[in-house]
Structure 1
Amino acid sequence: MLVLMTVFTSHASEFVLSERCPPSFDLDEQGKCRLVTRYQWYTSVQDRGVGGTRTALPAHRDGFTPAQIDLGRLLFFDPILSKDGSVSCASCHQPEKGFSDGLGKSVGIQGKRGQRSAPTLWNVAFLDRFFWDGRANTLEEQAAGPLFSPVEMGNSPAQLLSTLNQDPIYVSLFKQAFPDTDGIALESVYQALAGFQVSLISLNSRYDRYAHGHHNALTQREIAGMNVFRSFVARCAECHQPPLFTNNQIAVIGVPEKNGDPFDAGAEATFNAKKLRGGFKVPTLRNITLTEPYMHAGNFESLEESVEFYTKGRGHAVPENETLQLHWHIWEPNLTREEVLLIVEFLGTLTDESLIPAIPDKVPSGRSVTQALQVQSTLFTDSQARTAQGEE
């Protein structure tokens, strides 16, 4: 018993939750982390729909403690949250891939493929609707989805709580982060994960520096691309509204499914609304160069292909047997090849990883963080091979 206690104490000493807020957050008098950005000094929202630069951000979430955020970071990268200990949240939301995974359709435990791609987590603090079909209204509600999905992390509430409560290090860390809670509760798991995701702020790109008055932050071609993006011809900014480059709404745009896949009804099922058939959340364009392929299921391989979709004509890709109520912003701008390329160049100015969080070298469970980050691409390759051999 003495030997076991010594080993536990030594291992536990490696994990001390931070007492400091992440960058871009200040600690208030109540010990909560509050977001601070330059955009908070702007109050005008009048120009947001046509791409105004100095416009205010929408309401956001903050108010988590440093310990809760840091605990969420450990949980996010720890495969202990999955049924078989093979994948973590970070397996599908990899920091170097814009907190996406580089796959058209994400892969979970045992090589099981999902229906859609993993959306980026940058700036989710400003969103009030989650998943491609908008079926979750809070980050806590969103967290439960992948944890208990049979094709993602495959866990169950009972098994997750049992595993965590049997880990003495996690028991100690949860007590630090949630001192008023006895044991580890599901709500605390969700809250810690939400706290970490809220800390993922990306608002210091070259575009942002331009928007704040440093006009030499962009090249002349990038400025030209921004002007096309904001124009009443292209109308990109009417849905991808600065500063977040999304309006967080559902839009039906008629994107074609890939490789003959069945048509995805999207938000129709979420809201029980026929008019939203084929509708999906308007994604942020922040760090868009890192999150290929694009659209809800990797429908397009490149940004150029994605932009070209919008200029090929209203409803040109809608299946013959589908009648969709396309968003009124979808029309026929007839952009030139040069204008398409200029928009793509401008989108490159939205990359900002200056506040990317540190990936933990170790996690309390002792499982491999690196293997969990690499496992998805391996499982995807194996799954493809099985499909080709007729095993799925």
Structure 2
Amino acid sequence: MFRHLRYLIVGFSLAASALLALAFQAVLAADSTPAATPASTSVDALSLNDHCPAGFELTSVGCELRTLYQNYQSLENKGLGGLQIALPPGYRDGFSPQQIDLGRYLFFDPLLSANGKMSCATCHDPDQGFSDGMGRSLGGDGKLLQRSAPTLWNVAFLDKLFWDARADSLEEQAEEPLFDSHEMNNTPEGLLAALNNNEVYRRMFGEAYAEEEKLITLPQVLTAITAFQSTLISLNSRYDQYAHGYADALNEDEKAGLNVFRSFVARCGECHTPPLFTNQQMAVIGTPEPVGMPRDVGAEKVTGIKSQRGSFKVPSLRNIALTAPYMHSGRFATLREAVEFYTQGRGHAVPEGEHLNIHWHIWEPNLTDDELDRVVDFLQTLTDESFKPAVPALLPSGLPLAHGQYRR
């Protein structure tokens, strides 16, 4: 374990109140986790859940999130010294169980694509951290896209979506790939025709939107997908158990890695701040593009602001061990490579003649190999799939599932 004075010393005793709360959370999860959709010989037997997913409680408002982080008041990191930081206000919840479960079916159904072969889960596979294991995702036409598919874990808390932050809501984020010619390549008319011509979906939408019009509408589709995505919560990793007071949740190497991560030397925690492990800001860090690819200008294309050339959202590190390769274009194959990039010198990978306004947090911490290894050890404690949703065994469209394996 590191004992150098430049690192903050982390230590928490076991708190009885925290253990009781964790136990309650575990019971809540066990009681509400939906079972996998049973196999059936007919899609007509499919029905929507009338209970909330794990981690949510059914109230008069709808399915509301329940997590220990709601007990904390501070929205600041207290100079990187505190771990018990509250979640950002304004996160998405309150959808009905039926809307959430309808969104789950839509998320996995290739009926939503023009060619009937691609679903949301094709690029956001739950078995790969809701990413796709590719440096650059494949579009519906089989061609590589410009960027990787970011994870969907904890998107309910994010105020901007996509690598370049061009979407302001989950509804906007869900809509774009549906109608992008390089992705699912559908049209609003084609999507609604396919859904309205399906009797099972007509019945399900009627259950989820009982008081609304009989024909399925695009806002209903986007609301249902948003409802499902808002339940993809990952806040019960071993790190979280440690933060809530269980000192033995991390081993000595992992605690050492946390100390490096939060130190004023490495400064990782200044951008990847808990509990989401992102500050939700944009940053120019100067990562190299894959060989042969031109510079991705990032947010500059969205805003037209030259200082944002090469600027991308600071991604969450939640479940980061599951979502290799890393960076917006998958430039680094392993966590070790990604971590090492930050200690090789400010702007070291920026090509000659390219001007980028590198974020001021990027400098030269000169971490040792041992320190880098310990940071990787710590990052692996952020893995939590305890609320991973069940993949439908049968889809209302009757089409085969399209997640992950479609691109292999």
What is the TM-score normalised by the length of structure 1? 0.92
Matched letter for residue 45 of structure 1: L
Matching of residue 45 in structure 1 with residue 75 in structure 2: yes
Deviation at 1:13, TM superposition (A): 3.6
Q: CA deviation at 1:12?
A: 4.7
Looking at structure 1, the residues matched to 248 and 403 of structure 2 have their Cα atoms a distance apart, in angstroms, of: 41
**Residue 261 of structure 2: aligned partner:** 229
Residue 370 of structure 2, aligned match among 329, 332, 338: 338
> What runs of 5+ residues in structure 2 fail to find an aligned partner?
1-40
TM superposition shift of 1:361: 0.1
Runs of 4+ in 1 over 3 A off after TM superposition: 10-13
Q: Deviations over 1:287-306 (max 9, x none)?
A: 00000000001011010000
Q: What amino acid is aligned across from residue 200 of structure 1 in structure 2?
A: L
For 1:103-118, what aligned pairs fall within 5 Å after superposition?
103-118=134-149
Distance in 2 separating the partners of 1:12 and 1:298: 38
1:218 corresponds to which of 239, 242, 250: 250
Kept in 2, the 8 Å contact 1:24–1:37? The answer is yes
Closer, same or farther: CA 128–49 of 1 in aligned 2, 3 Å: farther
1:28 is matched with which residue?
A: 59
Name the % identity: 57
The aligned amino acid for 1:139 is L
In 1, Cα distance between equivalents of 2:201 and 2:81: 45
SS in 2 for 1:150: coil
Alpha-carbon shift at residue 85 of structure 1 (Å): 0.3
Q: Are the equivalent residues in 2 in contact too, given 1:51–1:241 (CA < 8 A)?
A: no
Deviations 1:266-311 (A, max 9, x none): 0111122111100000000000000000000101101000011000
State how far apart, in whole Å, the 2-side matches of 1:157 and 1:283 are: 30
Structure-2 separation of matches of 1:253 and 1:51: 24
* Distance in 2 separating the partners of 1:310 and 1:252: 12
Counterpart of 1:133? 164
Which residue identity is paired with 2:86? A
Look up the equivalent residue of 1:373 and give its one-letter code. G
Instruction: Give the alignment of 1:211-360 within 5 angstroms.
Output: 211-360=243-392
Instruction: Find out whether 1:204 has 2:236 as its counterpart.
Output: yes
User: Deviation of residue 214 (structure 1)?
Assistant: 0.3
- CA deviation vs aligned residue, 1:304-363 (integer Å, no higher than 9, x gap): 000110000000011112111111101111111111100000000000001100000000
Residues 286/13 of structure 1: CA separation in 2 closer, same or farther (3 Å cut): same
Aligned partners of 1:86 and 1:372 also within 8 Å: no
- Per-residue CA shift, 1:19-55, capped at 9, x if unaligned? 101111011124x010010000010133266262111
Matches within 5 A, 1:116-127: 116-127=147-158
- The 8 Å contact of residues 77 and 274 in structure 2, kept in 1 or not, is answered as no
Count of residues in Structure 1 that have an aligned counterpart in Structure 2: 367
Are the equivalent residues in 2 in contact too, given 1:239–1:246 (CA < 8 A)? yes
- CA distance in 1 between counterparts of 2:395 and 2:101 reads 12
- Partner residue in 2 for 1:152: 183
Task: Give the distance between the partners of 1:324 and 1:306, measured in 2 at CA.
Answer: 19
Matched letter for residue 118 of structure 1: A
Structure 1 stretches lacking a partner, 5+ long: 1-9, 378-392
Separation in 2 of the partners of 1:205 and 1:365? Answer: 35
Contact map agreement 1:246 1:283 (CA 8 A) in 2: yes
Q: RMSD across aligned C-alpha pairs, in angstroms?
A: 1.3
- Look up the SS of the partner of 1:151 in the other structure: coil
Given residue 185 of structure 1, which amino acid in structure 2 is its aligned partner? T
Give the corresponding residue for 2:119.
88
- Residues 1:161 and 2:192 aligned together: yes
Please tell me the residue identity of whatever aligns with 1:16. Answer: S
Q: One-letter code of the match for 2:200? A: I
| 1:267–1:278 CA contact under 8 A, matched in 2 | yes
Aligned: 1:190 with 2:222: yes
2: CA distance, partners of 1:272 / 1:190:
28
Contact 1:48 1:241 in 2 (8 A): no
Q: Is the Cα–Cα contact under 8 Å of residues 125 and 403 in structure 2 kept in the other structure?
A: no
What is the identity, as a one-letter code, of the residue corresponding to 1:152? E
